[in-house]
Structure 1
Amino acid sequence: MTTQETTLTAGDAEVTVAPANGCRVSSLKIAGTELLRQGEKYGCFPMVPWCGRIRDGRFRDGGHTHQMPLNSPPHAIHGFARSAEWTTARVTDTEAVFTYDLTEPWPYPGRVTQIVSLTEDALTLTLGVETYGDSFPAQAGWHPWFNRRLGDSSVEIAFDAAWQEERGADHLPTGKRIDVQPQPWDDCFGMPDGVDVTLTWPGEIEVKVASREQWVVVYDEQEAAVCVEPQTGPPNGLNTAPRLVTPVEPIEASTTWSWRRLKDPAPQTQALSS
């Protein structure tokens, strides 16, 4: 099993993945500029087999109630994969494939696969969740921490959501859909036509976060970073909007971050002719 970090490059883009640290994208640099907050708990980690919080760490599957560890009391949050050691399955210059086998305390055997693909102007992350046995509810998504500031520029977040999930005092959706409220956010938004969020650092770079999925959590309550989290269902979704992984239909989700630089690269010095 390979646990070393994997770095992919395409043009002036460079992405590094740390399979031993939850298969998180630990770095994404564009022309040498780091987009992601650095640190063991940051970067961009996969959320699986659920996204966000599970109320009281419990979810039902048919007649069975399962209790997950309360890693964010009184709830369970973000799944297990972010703190697990993944296996590196395949690496090329611009693509890498990683796998993680679901184990206890998750009650169902299965496998998660993450594919990381890089081009000169986009990064695509793909998650697949498959079962080794019975069907089970699950979710998949990503939790990136984008630096709030690049150079002298502070990020601007733009999106057009159809609704916002009303958030209760316990940070979980109440089940009521409301109009989008002003910032700050630690909220889940619905985008029936797919996630489409633009992050702009004026004068530096613009990043578009897109996904076919219709749910995104936006978090901007910290000074150092903001989060835009595409996912297959809302927080507590194992209880309120379960999506089954079956032997014939795994969960497959992807997100693509595409970018364009808003400033010209530094001109190269040319030798003067005599």
Structure 2
Amino acid sequence: MSNEDITLTAGDAEAIVRPGNGGRIGSLRVGGVELLRQGERFGCFPMVPWCGRIREGRFRDGAVVHRMPLNAPPHAIHGTARDGEWSVARASATEAVITYDLTDPWPYSGRVTQVVTLAPDSLTLAASVETYESSFPAQIGWHPWFNRTLDGTPVSIDFSPAWQEERGADHLPTGRRVDPRPGPWDDCFGMPDGVDVTLTWPGRLELRVTSPQRWVVIYDEQEAAVCVEPQTGPPDGLNTHPRLVTPLEPLEATTTWTWRRP
């Protein structure tokens, strides 16, 4: 199948999946209202095979040190899959399955599969990284850009993390866990019972982001949008919390956005 845009519909919800633009969700409209910031770099993109920044673009796998391109100097950020063209495995009115084969500059072979499922009151994203060759460390996450305002109504963010990863001057975790601090944030938080963050545009919409993953990055330093990013490890996690993908054990992750209107 081609990698042209896929439109999913369920009830009065509509999502546009863009395989040709990094496998991202380019649009999510509920009752005709757009929830995601528009633009080629925005929407919601998968962060694979790593999330956030890798310090100086370097990560170690055993005795071997690999270096990724410094696309956020002096670091490498958000993986390579968001810059690639994905393939469509299958699509229906409410579900799209798309795949991306890891390639240069990533040094290992593997396949990423993302399943996007739309219901009248929710969107579920599920992803896996598989390999049939060498094992390697990897992460999965999602980076949605939710519009800060809906029809002029600003958003509020509510969540109760167990800890905050202390952020150094280089925007990377120092390795210390601290009590959660007030925003604005470009910070990673620990939620050991699973990610659970509620965005509320009073009188307009409530959207709850949940995930079994234990880490979430909250970014609200921009006027146009706020980001709630569930991920399988913290920034620089290829070095600090490596999780190996092996031929017998893929890496899997999922997140669900559930909404309701007053």
- Alignment TM-score, normalising by the size of structure 1: 0.95
Task: State the 1:132 CA deviation.
Answer: 2.6
Task: State the 1:65 CA deviation.
Answer: 0.3
Identity among equivalent positions (%) equals: 71
Q: Which residue of 1 aligns with 2:196?
A: 196
2:207 pairs with 1:213:
no
2:14 pairs with 1:9:
no
CA RMSD, Structure 1 to Structure 2 (Å): 0.6
Q: Which residue of 2 aligns with 1:128?
A: 128
Larger Rg: 1
C-alpha contact (below 8 Å) 1:111/1:132 kept by paired residues: no
C-alpha contact (below 8 Å) 2:132/2:246 kept by paired residues: no
Secondary structure at 1:161's aligned position in 2? coil
Q: How many residues align?
A: 262
Give deviations 1:67-87, integer Å, cap 9, x for gaps: 111010000000001110000
Task: State the 1:152 CA deviation.
Answer: 2.4
- Structure 2 distance, partners of 1:108, 1:119, is 35
Give deviations 1:13-34, integer Å, cap 9, x for gaps: 0000110000100000000000
Task: State the 1:3 CA deviation.
Answer: 1.9
Matching of residues 1-274 of structure 1 within 5 Å: 1-262=1-262
Task: State the 1:93 CA deviation.
Answer: 1.0
- Structure 2 distance, partners of 1:23, 1:131, is 19
- Structure 2 distance, partners of 1:132, 1:82, is 22
Give deviations 1:132-173, integer Å, cap 9, x for gaps: 301100000000000000012100000000000000000000
Secondary structure at 2:166's aligned position in 1? strand
Task: State the 1:98 CA deviation.
Answer: 0.1
- Return 5+ residue gaps in structure 2 as ranges: none
Task: State the 1:182 CA deviation.
Answer: 0.6
- Structure 1 distance, partners of 2:168, 2:80, is 24
- Structure 1 distance, partners of 2:150, 2:81, is 29
